[in-house]
Structure 1
């Protein structure tokens, strides 16, 4: 039996930005590689400036990779095919859920209209789009009342549910979530994380969950990739990485997660040790 192609395969990804005349370029992502199994979930974690959001933007095509390759189910993403059909196919491969859905949702459209617009783009007729839109809203826990509301009338959690439904409307193979719960209250975060786990189980979509929060990643991912200054410093099963981190940077991040016996002084000590070692 031939093994399945990875849902997502990333090899040697690099992205640098010019800083001006006479200045060295800023390397945001440097030689990052990983694979994601069909129906799997990967956390990409790191502090601000680690390069994790740049990776997310390259996965969906919002940033161009200077080097490396991205493949979805064996198909290279770097090949720029022209035409509407090719653009729609690429959209069906990978979808992105942003941190702030209010900035990415069309404020003129109701929740149902927003989903119908995406569904019609991807070939559904009017009746089919209306029916599927209601199914998607129900799947993410939104009802008839929310279906007729515009984004500014929805709560933060409801808007994020709508953003997830809109991404799912394209029937993607991979769903990338960039700090998708960081702006939400803890109780709402838990609801969204449970929702994502259920959707992955029901639909088989693969998840890439980009976050600075190891505690959040620990609830929704099978594997985790830890990034520091553009490079991947640790990669492995989420449970192992969180319980027995090997890299000093991962140990520092893990120590920052509050829990039984949590000692803030230990966080300060590990951060100082890591900073000193990084300067050597």
Structure 2
């Protein structure tokens, strides 16, 4: 469904992504893993079109996503290919619109029936009370559910989730992860999950891709990568996760200069 080949992006003298390549199958789920500054969000923003790559290609459904496409129809087609849900949905939701009005706007823009709004709200576990609420009247978890519903309204082939549960309480995280797993099963949408939380990636993803300073250092089935990592940086990430008997003073940090 999605093929990324040799993506590169630099900001001034800093290389945020370097020679990044990976596939994402239709209905599959891939976790982009790495500490802050590893290039995860830059890659996600290049995929959705918010950042232009210096070089490399992004292909979806066999068609290259060109940066020079212009016109309303081209923009809408690109939006239907890939949608993104951010860590803080509040900044991307119109504070003047109720949840139902938010979905009506997205559906009408893409020529979908407005009547689907109630179905989408139900799909993400929001009821009639939340349907009439504006973003400031919703909890963090409810706003994230609404952001997911709005993304699903255009029936995207790929849904990117950029640290989409990082700011939520653990119990709410679990609910959102279960929701995403169910949506994937029912709709067949492919998920690209950007996260530094290895437990979340293990729960939701089939494959994991580990990034360090913009470079892919490991990629494979999630259980293999997280249970038997081959790269020292991946092992350092796993060693950094608190567990019984864990001593932060003994955590080995991998220095990229040693790769």
TM-score, normalised via structure 2 length: 0.97
Aligned equivalent of 2:33, options 45, 57, 62? 45
Q: Cα distance, 1:192 vs. partner?
A: 0.3
Match of 2:146 in 1: 162
Segments ≥4 residues shifted beyond 6 Å: none
Q: Is the 2:239–2:251 Cα contact (8 Å) retained in structure 1? A: no
Aligned residues: 259
Aligned equivalent of 1:214, options 198, 220, 235? 198
Q: In structure 2, how many angstroms separate the alpha carbons of the residues matched to 1:140 and 1:256?
A: 33
**Matching of residue 264 in structure 1 with residue 247 in structure 2:** yes
Aligned equivalent of 1:54, options 39, 42, 65? 42
Q: Is the 2:35–2:212 Cα contact (8 Å) retained in structure 1? A: yes
**1:224-268 deviation per Cα after TM superposition (whole angstroms, max 9, x unaligned):** 000000100000000111100110110011122234x45224x73
Q: Cα distance, 1:82 vs. partner?
A: 2.0
- Runs of 5+ unmatched residues, structure 2: none
Match of 2:79 in 1: 91
Q: In structure 1, how many angstroms separate the alpha carbons of the residues matched to 2:4 and 2:258?
A: 30
Superposed CA RMSD in Å reads 1.3
TM-score, normalised via structure 1 length: 0.90
Q: Is the 1:215–1:257 Cα contact (8 Å) retained in structure 2? A: no
Q: Is the 2:159–2:192 Cα contact (8 Å) retained in structure 1? A: yes
Q: Is the 2:29–2:207 Cα contact (8 Å) retained in structure 1? A: yes
Q: Give the greater-gyration-radius structure (CA).
A: 1
1:1-280 matched pairs, under 5 angstroms: 7-18=1-12, 25-124=13-112, 128-129=113-114, 131-259=115-243, 261-265=244-248, 268-271=250-253, 274-275=254-255, 278=257
Q: Is the 1:115–1:166 Cα contact (8 Å) retained in structure 2? A: yes
- Aligned-partner SS, 2:94: coil
